[in-house]
Structure 1
């Protein structure tokens, strides 16, 4: 039980940096960052998708006396803790003061990219340690600890933080006397978690011993170069290459809905902490859904579920665009009516059904075709490609919102609003910039069209991969 609780605690710590990074775009949006800046910041979420590139290094290089996993886990968590404490002193300046001095997005991106890189490295070490830390009868709890711990950590770093950081939320629900600031700031929050990281890591370093007899000597003798060669030989296989190319392009149709909708709602006046709090009733949905869907994906053809769910998820792209258009129409003095939040919550919940149907189907397929002789490397590669297939369309979708948006200068002669400088000139001339065509709506329609085109042209090809024999997925290894 002690090992299970420790593993859970390590996964909670891992979720906190993820949650904090997820809350920054909402803070930037409330401080009028452009969508090009949001796209740049979205690069922060890439390290978790690319961790396969340095995972073999983490597996193969270590100090034997200290322990295979602790050699990476302890230094990484110490650096994360010190990094958070150091960042807590500068983060308010990086976010801007909201009084004319905007956020320093380049510095924020560089900082949080490093932050997420460290969290991803910690993830590799914890995943590896989970297999030897738990006794053989408890090893099945590893994935439960991962999903529960990461979700809880993300909740603490995202939902809880945004609620406590919001002056309006704190004044309404937690205070008797209104104050101009929330109960915590981002710098307070970072300092607190930095201290938690340092204390936890010290305890793990001193008190937890690795199971020496369970350290897999055969596995570790596979050198770093062997692992990279193995990855390359897996990717070269025709069936795997086809699958990778299809999965890298499958999520283009969802990019506007997934990446831009939440930011648009904040832009239209929905308080960011309210959006974050909608995640609370979604937690049971996210726990129950995979259990229900796995019944349908457990058979020999899990990708049929993926194919059937895709058009429904694409249609949510149009529904979300309608939701954003409808938002300013229902806004009143005191904010938004309850029925508005009910509609948003229902939309999100139904969208989750389609999202999880596709996610669980892909995971089931990856597990089905992965060559058991190679172990985790094969499965990790397929999951990495699947994650990347969601990352790059989101970044591109955010990048294109501003160029696709058309604005006019109203109230001033011969002025334009194409750039920030031009918009400033328009304001100085007594005019104001009015959006005549929002790039988000253009993107929403184009994405749905592209998504359905993919579904018609490439969907059947993806389903056909299920008919390939097991030999098509077996890696021809040269020993």
Structure 2
């Protein structure tokens, strides 16, 4: 094994820490009402566009196809992780368990912790990126194959029945997403040498297209084919009790695909040597650079902004979809709402980048926040309206679908406005001499700023929900207590914590604008020298 500390490294002008591609997943890979961007890293859209227009793809078609496929594979476990909360909701899993499961989305927010290791330690004869890519993808395939044989029991669907083993499910998907994040670091790094210099701008395109497609397969397509109602209504002539695809079958299929394709990549694809190596740049030095960057007053101040700016939307982004499903909205139909959004998601970054290309990119970020706060109120209204718009179980009035789709589309506009402006700002302030390290640091903090409030909202919602036993006597709060039902009553929600959280988030959001907007404008106006330090 080789590491930079023992003679392998990068020049300061290249990425010291890989993993700065355009990752998917406020898709947070969480739920469909959250878009695919807030968990993403970024390559400057304007720069990529210029490179794309000027590039000659001859000789790189195969590499572009391979990179896109590798990112598709990366999106599969992310999509599956995004579909599990919907399956859990239909099994009446409480929101504390949903909060526990939400930790599976954190690996892409903390991958900076091990990114320098992936960049530094490798087997020279095997390949710098294949050293991590091959075992990582084999491990993902192994996890899927093993889980496919036990997922029924884990999900509480075994022959003996039982409850969902939420802890085991969380551990398994956390490991899957950790492996996917590691694979992402390796693939992003490989893209820099797999593609010719003139076409390296295509790396972000491969990332965004591939990971979006993979998420679609693991989430939207899976939820549709797994639903018996959807399959019976649209794909079958004779109704059956199960969908065309089961979770176990889906995991087994992709486990085999991971094994087969990883073997082919290992045997067939050769890795080019990276010409930009610096024997002086080691793992410890990379971590020291990160520490020096974090100590900068401007970075510390901006970190506080990144970690607090998304609290205003946390209840909306983490709970709205689950609350709609809880009210009877079919999970597969909610997932399919993502399909008409695809053209919007492709066009929006291009349009928005025209407004963020100037010297004050965060102006768009600030202007978008009030609209996202307002949309949170509208979403809460839609969840409340869903009780009255339901014509029959699983069927809603046409106007309800129209309003929901319109709100979803508007939501995407403001999510992407914040994302593109944020990432344009990151590209503006990042020190070019350590661009990869700097960008990955800021993007990691931004991802974490979206994940921690979402987990908190999921954990709190049951604690601030009031229920009463209607028609009987018993406790409606203690988990596993069935005395209310056994006495002939039913637990009825009198005050839903979702609405309380939405109100709190709106108040917090308005206070945040008053507290931090001026500071963010000041940071946006700082000279680039304020973002540099001695390394």
Specify the TM-score bucket, using the shorter chain as the normaliser. over 0.9
**Residue 245 (str. 1) matches residue 322 (str. 2):** no
**Counterpart for residue 382 of structure 1:** 442
Give 3-state SS (helix, strand or coil) of 1:216's partner.
coil
Structure 2 CA distance for aligned equivalents of residues 216 and 182 of structure 1 = 51
**Counterpart for residue 157 of structure 1:** 218
**Counterpart for residue 28 of structure 2:** none
**Counterpart for residue 41 of structure 2:** none
Give 3-state SS (helix, strand or coil) of 2:493's partner.
strand
**Residue 261 (str. 1) matches residue 261 (str. 2):** no
Count of aligned pairs between the two proteins:
473
Match of 2:506 among 448, 454, 460: 448
Deviation at 1:187, TM superposition (A): 0.6
Alignment of 1:295-334 (within 5 A): 295-333=354-392
Match of 2:127 among 54, 67, 82: 67
Give 3-state SS (helix, strand or coil) of 2:339's partner.
helix
Q: 1:288-326: per-residue Cα shift (whole Å, max 9, x none)?
A: 111111100000000110111110111111100000000
**Residue 34 (str. 1) matches residue 94 (str. 2):** yes
Structure 1 CA distance for aligned equivalents of residues 296 and 226 of structure 2 = 50
Distance 1:8 1:378, change over 3 A: same
- Contact kept? 2:226, 2:247, Cα under 8 Å: yes
* TM value normalised by structure 2: 0.87
**Counterpart for residue 97 of structure 1:** 157
- Contact kept? 2:101, 2:170, Cα under 8 Å: yes
Q: 1:145-200: per-residue Cα shift (whole Å, max 9, x none)?
A: 00000000000000000000000000011111110000010110011111111111
- Contact kept? 2:143, 2:172, Cα under 8 Å: no
**Residue 470 (str. 1) matches residue 528 (str. 2):** yes
Structure 2 CA distance for aligned equivalents of residues 198 and 67 of structure 1 = 19
Query: Whose RCO is larger (CA < 8 A, sep 6+)?
Result: 2
Tell me the C-alpha RMSD between the 2 structures. 1.2
- Contact kept? 2:95, 2:462, Cα under 8 Å: yes
Structure 1 CA distance for aligned equivalents of residues 254 and 484 of structure 2 = 45
Deviation at 1:9, TM superposition (A): 0.5
**Counterpart for residue 239 of structure 2:** 178
**Residue 127 (str. 1) matches residue 188 (str. 2):** yes
Match of 2:116 among 37, 44, 56: 56
Structure 1 CA distance for aligned equivalents of residues 189 and 351 of structure 2 = 28
Please state which structure has a larger fraction of its residues in helix. Answer: 1
Give 3-state SS (helix, strand or coil) of 2:434's partner.
coil
**Counterpart for residue 18 of structure 2:** none
Deviation at 1:427, TM superposition (A): 1.2
Q: 1:395-422: per-residue Cα shift (whole Å, max 9, x none)?
A: 0010111001000112224x33222244
Q: 1:438-464: per-residue Cα shift (whole Å, max 9, x none)?
A: 000000111001011001111111111
**Residue 23 (str. 1) matches residue 83 (str. 2):** yes
**Residue 352 (str. 1) matches residue 412 (str. 2):** yes
Structure 2 CA distance for aligned equivalents of residues 421 and 84 of structure 1 = 31
Structure 1 CA distance for aligned equivalents of residues 89 and 275 of structure 2 = 47
Give 3-state SS (helix, strand or coil) of 1:433's partner.
strand
Deviation at 1:216, TM superposition (A): 2.6
Structure 1 CA distance for aligned equivalents of residues 490 and 378 of structure 2 = 30
Alignment of 1:345-424 (within 5 A): 345-413=405-473, 415-422=474-481, 424=482
Match of 1:206 among 253, 264, 267: 267
Structure 2 CA distance for aligned equivalents of residues 225 and 115 of structure 1 = 27
Alignment of 1:5-20 (within 5 A): 5-20=65-80
Structure 1 CA distance for aligned equivalents of residues 227 and 170 of structure 2 = 23
Deviation at 1:101, TM superposition (A): 2.3
Structure 2 CA distance for aligned equivalents of residues 117 and 84 of structure 1 = 14
Deviation at 1:215, TM superposition (A): 4.1
Alignment of 1:78-117 (within 5 A): 78-97=138-157, 101-117=162-178
Structure 1 CA distance for aligned equivalents of residues 116 and 480 of structure 2 = 48
Deviation at 1:221, TM superposition (A): 4.6
Deviation at 1:339, TM superposition (A): 2.5
Give 3-state SS (helix, strand or coil) of 1:399's partner.
helix
Structure 2 CA distance for aligned equivalents of residues 53 and 348 of structure 1 = 34
Q: 1:356-414: per-residue Cα shift (whole Å, max 9, x none)?
A: 1111111000000000011200011001001100000000010111001000112224x
Deviation at 1:100, TM superposition (A): 6.0
Give 3-state SS (helix, strand or coil) of 2:469's partner.
strand
Return 5+ residue gaps in structure 1 as ranges: none
**Residue 339 (str. 1) matches residue 399 (str. 2):** yes
Give 3-state SS (helix, strand or coil) of 2:396's partner.
coil
Stretches of 4+ aligned residues off by more than 6 angstroms:
none
Deviation at 1:340, TM superposition (A): 1.7
Deviation at 1:65, TM superposition (A): 0.3
Structure 2 CA distance for aligned equivalents of residues 59 and 316 of structure 1 = 41
Give 3-state SS (helix, strand or coil) of 1:409's partner.
strand
Match of 1:235 among 282, 294, 310: 294
Deviation at 1:55, TM superposition (A): 0.3
Structure 2 CA distance for aligned equivalents of residues 102 and 180 of structure 1 = 21
Give 3-state SS (helix, strand or coil) of 2:461's partner.
helix
Alignment of 1:205-224 (within 5 A): 205-212=266-273, 214-218=274-278, 221-224=280-283
Give 3-state SS (helix, strand or coil) of 1:458's partner.
helix
* TM value normalised by structure 1: 0.97
